[in-house]
C-alpha cells in the first residue's frame, strides 16, 4: 500500500485517496522490492492450513513485486497474480521466474475475469483497501470455489523507542507528514489483529455484513525488525505518501529523518505486526 499502512488504509476506505495513488509504487518498483518487509512464515503456514487447497490454485490481488507471492510459491502453491501497475508486474515476473506455477496478470482486479475458473484461495497483502469497496466481496466470492478461503493481511509497524519516536515526530510535523510508518509507538496497536489505534478499515465487520462468508478469524504475528538508516530511508521513499511529495521536499524530509536516525545509533528498531484476516466462502 501503502503509506504508514493503517493511515493509508483509512484514507482509501473513506474515499479520500485517488485510485491512482495505488500505482505510484511502480515509479520505484526496484526500491519497493528491496526495502519492503516480508511476511512471517507462520502467517503463510496458517493461511495454507486454513485454505486446505488440495491442489487447487490461488489468486492474489495486488501482488506488487511478490513480497507475499514468493513464500506461497516456494511451498508449491499455484498462483494467478493480479497487479495493476505494469512496472511492478515486470519485477513480479522476474521474481517468480523460478516458479512455473505462477502466472502474472497485469491489470486491475475489478476488470479481471476468472474465465470459468474457481480458486481455492484469494489472498491480498496490503492491497485489499485499494479494491472498489462496493464490489470487492462480490468479486472475491465469484472467484472462489465453494468453501474457498479469503486471506487478507497487512504489516503495520510500531516504533519501540519513545525518545526516537518523539524526535521523528518533530521532523514529520515540520514537513506535514501525518502517516509515516514511525507515526505510532507499538503500544498504539493493542494486542489483537486489526486494533490499529481506532482507525477503521479492518475487514471483519464488512465481511460479516456481506453474508456470503463464514468461519471468520483474525490472527496477529509479531516480529522484531531493525532497519539501518539507508534501508529505512529506502523504505520511506517507496511509500505513496513520500512518492507524492515534490522531489525537493521529499529529499529534505528524508535528509532530516536520516540525521535523527544517525543521532540515535544509525537505525530504528520496530515491531512488525503481521495482521491476518481469514474467511471462507459459503
Write the burial class of residue 16 (CB in 10 Å: 0-12 exposed, 13-18 middle, 19+ buried): exposed
Domain that holds residue 95: 5-156+189-223+273-281
Is 205 a domain residue? Answer: yes
Compute the average pLDDT of residues 65-74: 95
Is 111 a domain residue? Answer: yes
- Tens-digit pLDDT profile for residues 203-242: 999 999 999 999 999 999 999 999 999 999 988 988 878 9
Is 112 a domain residue? Answer: yes
Q: What is the DSSP string of 204-232?
A: HHHHHHH-SEEEEEEEEEEEEEEEEHHHH
Is 95 a domain residue? Answer: yes
- Give the per-residue pLDDT at 30: 64
- Tens-digit pLDDT profile for residues 22-49: 455 545 566 656 666 788 899 999 999 9
Is 142 a domain residue? Answer: yes
Catalogue the E-assigned strands of 21-175.
58-61, 79-83, 102-106, 119-125, 144-154, 157-159
> Considering its fold, how many domains does the chain have in total?
1
Is 234 a domain residue? Answer: no
Is 218 a domain residue? Answer: yes
pLDDT at position 197 over 70: no
- Give the per-residue pLDDT at 4: 44
Domain with 59 in it: what CATH number?
3.40.50.150
Is 235 a domain residue? Answer: no
Q: Are 180 and 5 a contacting pair, CB within 8 Å? A: no
- Tens-digit pLDDT profile for residues 117-173: 999 999 999 999 999 999 999 999 999 999 999 999 998 889 999 999 999 999 999
Amino acid at each position: 500500500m501503502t503509506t504508514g499502512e493503517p493511515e493509508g488504509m483509512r484514507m482509501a476506505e473513506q474515499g479520500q485517496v485517488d485510485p491512482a495513488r495505488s500505482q505510484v509504487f511502480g515509479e520505484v518498483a526496484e526500491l519497493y522490492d528491496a526495502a519492503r518487509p516480508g511476511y512471517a512464515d507462520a502467517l503463510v503456514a496458517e493461511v495454507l492450513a486454513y485454505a486446505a487447497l488440495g491442489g487447487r490454485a490461488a489468486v492474489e490481488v495486488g501482488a506488487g513485486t511478490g513480497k507475499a507471492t514468493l513464500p506461497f510459491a516456494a511451498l508449491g502453491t499455484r498462483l494467478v497474480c493480479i497487479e495493476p501497475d505494469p512496472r511492478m508486474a515486470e519485477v513480479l515476473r522476474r521474481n517468480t521466474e523460478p516458479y512455473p506455477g505462477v502466472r502474472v496478470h497485469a491489470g486491475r482486479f475489478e476488470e479481471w475475469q476468472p474465465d470459468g475458473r474457481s480458486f481455492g484461495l484469494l489472498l491480498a497483502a496490503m492491497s485489499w483497501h485499494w479494491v472498489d469497496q462496493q464490489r470487492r466481496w462480490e468479486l472475491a466470492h465469484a472467484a472462489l470455489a465453494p468453501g474457498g478461503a479469503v486471506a487478507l493481511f497487512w504489516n503495520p509497524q510500531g516504533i519501540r523507542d519513545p525518545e526516537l519516536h518523539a524526535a521523528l515526530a518533530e521532523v514529520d510535523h515540520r514537513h506535514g507528514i501525518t502517516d509515516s510508518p514511525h507515526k505510532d509507538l507499538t503500544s498504539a496497536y493493542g494486542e489483537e489483529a486489526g486494533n490499529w489505534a481506532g482507525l477503521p478499515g479492518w475487514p471483519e465487520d464488512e465481511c460479516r455484513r456481506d453474508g456470503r462468508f463464514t468461519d471468520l478469524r483474525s490472527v496477529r504475528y509479531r516480529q522484531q525488525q531493525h532497519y539501518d538508516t539507508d534501508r529505512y530511508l529506502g523504505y520511506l521513499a517507496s511509500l505513496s505518501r513520500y512518492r507524492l511529495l515534490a522531489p525537493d521536499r521529499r529529499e529534505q524530509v528524508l535528509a532530516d529523518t536520516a540525521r535523527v536516525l544517525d543521532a540515535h545509533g544509525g537505525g530504528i528498531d520496530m515491531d512488525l505486526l503481521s495482521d491476518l484476516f481469514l474467511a471462507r466462502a459459503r
